[in-house]
Amino acid sequence: MVAAGVRPLMLDGERLVKRLRTYPQIVREVS
């Protein structure tokens, strides 16, 4: 039960990390 709840959190964490990594690139393109 606990593992099932932790797994989605880890997936969300990976998404946030990918966004943070790509964010500087987006800022450079806009500016």
Count of domains observed in the chain? 1
Q: What is this structure's pTM?
A: 0.50
3-class SS string, 1-31? CHHHHHHHHHHHHHHHHHHHHHHHHHHHHHC
Distance of CA 23 to the CA centre of its chain: 10
Find the angle CA(15)-CA(20)-CA(12) to the nearest 5 degrees: 20
> How much is the pLDDT for 12?
92
> How much is the pLDDT for 23?
86
pLDDT tens-digit map of 1-31: 577 788 888 899 999 999 999 988 888 888 7
> How much is the pLDDT for 27?
82
Domain that holds residue 8: 1-31
> How much is the pLDDT for 1?
58
